[in-house]
Amino acid sequence: MNANDAAVIIGAYEHPGRELPDKSLAQIHAEVAIGALADAGLTLDDVDGFFLGHDAPGYGGGWVSMAEYLGLRSLTYMDSTESGGASPIYHVSHAAAAIAAGKCNVALITLAGKPRTGIQPGGGGPLRPEDSFEMGMFTGAGLVSTYALAAQRHMYEYGTTSEQLAEIKVAATIHASHNPNAFLQKVMTVEDVVNSPLVADPLHRADCCLVTDGGGAVVVVSREVARSLNRQPVKILGQGEAAKLTDGGRVDLTYTSAVQSGPRAFEQAGVTVNDIDYVSIYDSFTITVLEILEDLGFCEKGEGGRFVMDGTLVAPHGRLPFNTDGGGLSNNHPGHRGGITKIIEAVRQLRGEANQGVQVPDCEIALVHGNGGDLGTRMRSATMILGRDA
């Protein structure tokens, strides 16, 4: 039996807030935990597996303090795999593996952050000398610079244009206009995007993801538990992980480790790109989406710019509707981490619970892809393929 057959996603919840000045980070984790469990018809008392990344506050940057805060007394399995914004996508597949191995039955996965009204997350601790070297910080370069360098090289090698990158943002804004909780409600045109202020040429402000407070949670349970609940499960058909490292300073920014995680997920799921009805793609920047779509094989390498034109990504009738909640570009990017919202929107699509106007008809198979870390240095990818339960 495929390990993934043993477990299903049964609960999902996205915090409706985007600016939460009066809530602590732990409170947001707790609210989304209760929300996702309620969606499943479960309570905190049912949880025996707990998965979260370093966005959790308190002792050790992991699960211990949050478990204490939530009063989780029955834990038999804990996992604090940290992979940047992609962490929750790892957590879902790790939870499925733990459930298949009999280590737990009800796995809770939470993510939260409040960079908009609180403090910026500390990341991986103090910078080491080599970090400043790698990022070129002493020459005024930072994270956004490396994505701009990636976009520039992609434009040079493949003829990609700013207008093509803008198509990605336009699709996200159209989707967000159907989402009453979305941070940005206004539909933008290609012209609006390319006329927005330059942040790091060739990237404009509208090419960059939002900074929002908030979070989300997902509950993964055994088939047996799911049968006892009155909620539509979502199947985990396949998943793949990969890492792309610096290789002594030889980092080609025009591709991501999706080139490895994608085929692993497709193989396990036994499906191809042609079977995918909806995609949730990590969207830290428009260039991130473009490269991932190419790397996952939705088009040839270098064809991403042409692929996203003419409404390809626009729901419900584009060839490949993406991020129908508005994504990190227009809806929500809580705590600089877009992983959990990507899973949640795929679950909504497969259950037929997406916002009116963006529900993909007959959505049976969805792909979720997350990037963790920085395209410019070391990064990791998680791809997951989900299916509607028959």
Partner 1 sequence: MDVAAYEKLLPDITPRNKPFWDGCAAGELRLQRCTDCGRHRFPDAPVCPQCLSSSASWEAVSGTGTIWSWCTMHQRYFAAFADEVPYRLVYVRLTEGPLVISVLADEPDELRLDLPVRVVFRPSPGGRVIPQFSTGDLVTAA
Residues near partner 1 (CB under 8 A): 129-142, 144-146, 148-153, 156, 197-203, 245-251, 253
Edge-to-edge strands, sheet with 234-244? 77-79, 49-52, 106-113, 214-222, 7-14, 234-244, 379-388, 365-373, 278-281
User: Rounded distance, CA 333 to CA 285, Å?
Assistant: 11
Q: Is the separation of the CB atoms in 29 and 293 below 8 Å?
A: no
- Of 250 and 317, the one with the shorter C-beta distance to partner 1 is 250
For residue 272, the minimal CB distance to partner 1 (Å) is 33
Q: Which residue has the tokens 């597996």?
A: 49
For residue 246, the minimal CB distance to partner 1 (Å) is 7
Q: Is the separation of the CB atoms in 292 and 258 below 8 Å?
A: yes
The secondary structure of residue 139, as a DSSP letter, is G
Q: Is the separation of the CB atoms in 71 and 26 below 8 Å?
A: no
- Of 126 and 361, the one with the shorter C-beta distance to partner 1 is 126
User: Rounded distance, CA 318 to CA 324, Å?
Assistant: 11
For residue 206, the minimal CB distance to partner 1 (Å) is 13
Between vectors from CA 294 to CA 289 and to CA 296, what angle results, nearest 5°?
Answer: 95
- Of 44 and 143, the one with the shorter C-beta distance to partner 1 is 143
For residue 306, the minimal CB distance to partner 1 (Å) is 20
Which pair of structure tokens corresponds to residue 309? 């034109």
- Of 31 and 207, the one with the shorter C-beta distance to partner 1 is 207
For residue 131, the minimal CB distance to partner 1 (Å) is 8
User: Rounded distance, CA 281 to CA 303, Å?
Assistant: 17
Q: Phi first, then psi: what are they for 227, rounded to 5°? A: -65, -25
- Residue 281's SS3 state is strand
Q: Which residue has the tokens 């370069």?
A: 141
Q: Side chain identity at 8, as an amino acid letter?
A: V
**Spatial CA neighbour of 239 closest among 89, 364, 111:** 89
Q: Is the separation of the CB atoms in 89 and 339 below 8 Å?
A: yes
- Of 279 and 375, the one with the shorter C-beta distance to partner 1 is 375
- Of 150 and 350, the one with the shorter C-beta distance to partner 1 is 150
- Of 38 and 127, the one with the shorter C-beta distance to partner 1 is 127
For residue 336, the minimal CB distance to partner 1 (Å) is 15
For residue 116, the minimal CB distance to partner 1 (Å) is 17
For residue 63, the minimal CB distance to partner 1 (Å) is 31
- Of 275 and 374, the one with the shorter C-beta distance to partner 1 is 374
